[in-house]
Amino acid sequence: MPDLFRRTVVTLIIVPLALLVIYYGGYLYQAVIILLLCLAAWEYDSLLKKVNLQPAIPLAIFGVLVLGLARSFYQFANSSFLLVLLLFLMAAWHIIHHEKGAPNPGADFGASISIAVYIGFLGSYLISLRELPGGMWWTYLVLPTVWIADSGAYLLGTTIGKNKLAPKTSPNKTWEGYFGGLIFGSLGSLGLALLFERVFNAGLPISPIQGALLGLVISAFIPLGDLTESMIKRPAGEKDSGNILPGHGGFFDRLDSLFWAAPIGYYLILHLFI
C-alpha cells in the first residue's frame, strides 16, 4: 500500500504538469523532452556499467541531444547524417579506448549506439508527434492512452495475474495484465477521442471507433518498451533505473513505453488519419 500511495501521489503531480507542457508545446515542450531523454540516457549508461560495459557516455548524451534538436527544428531532414556522424565518432572513440586497454570495445561500441539510437532516435518521436497538424490533441490522445493502458495492466496484473508473460525478463508481468492493458487502452482511447470530438471540438479526423483501434494497436506494442528495459535492468541486478520518482523509479522507467508508443502513434496518425 505505501508503494501504491507514493505511486499515486507522484502520478497526480506528474500528469497535470505533462498535460500543461504538451498544451504549450513549442520550445518548452521540446526542451523538456530533450532533457528527459538525456536523463534517461544517463540512467541507461549507469545500468550498462553495472554489467561491465563502458559506453561513450559523452558522445551518447551528445547524440541524444543533437537528435532531439534536429527533430525539433528539421524533423527527419538531418537524422541520417547525424546518425552517420555519431557512428563515426563512436567508432573512433572505442578504437582509441581499445588501444588504451579497454577489454570489450565491440560490446562497448554497441552499448554506445544503443543509447543514442534507442533513447535519442526513438524518443525524439515524442517531438515529431507534437509537431503533427493538430499535434497537441494527437499527443493528448497517444500519451494518456499509454498511461491508461499501463494503469489497467498494473491493476489487473497485481490483482488477478497468474500466467507469466515473460518470466525470465520481467517475472511480475502476466498475460492477465497484458490483456487488461489492451482493454483499458482501447476504452481509454475511445473515451478520449469521444471527449475531444463532443466536448472540446478538437477537429481531429478520427472517430471514437478509430480512436479505440488506435488505442488497441498502441496498447498491444507498448509492453515491448517495458520488457526491453527489463532485459537491460535484470542482468544489472536492478529493479528500477533510478529512484528519483518515488513509486515510479527513474526517468528511463517512465519513458520506456513511450519509446514505442510515440513512433507507432506517429506513423498510424500520419498514414491513416491525416
- The answer to whether 186 and 215 have CB atoms below 8 angstroms apart is yes
Query: What global pTM score does this model have?
Result: 0.92
Task: Render 106-142 in DSSP notation, one character per residue.
Answer: HHHHHHHHHIIIIIIIIHTHHHHHHHSTTHHHHHHHH
Per-residue model confidence (pLDDT) at position 3: 62
pLDDT tens per residue across all 274 residues of the chain: 456 666 677 778 888 999 999 999 999 999 999 999 999 999 999 999 999 999 999 999 999 999 999 998 887 766 778 888 999 999 999 999 999 999 999 999 999 999 999 999 999 999 999 999 999 999 999 999 999 999 999 999 999 999 999 999 999 999 999 999 999 999 999 999 999 988 988 888 888 899 999 999 999 999 999 999 999 999 999 888 877 766 567 899 989 999 999 999 999 999 998 8
Specify the length of the chain in residues.
274
Count of C-beta atoms within a 10 Å radius of residue 227: 16
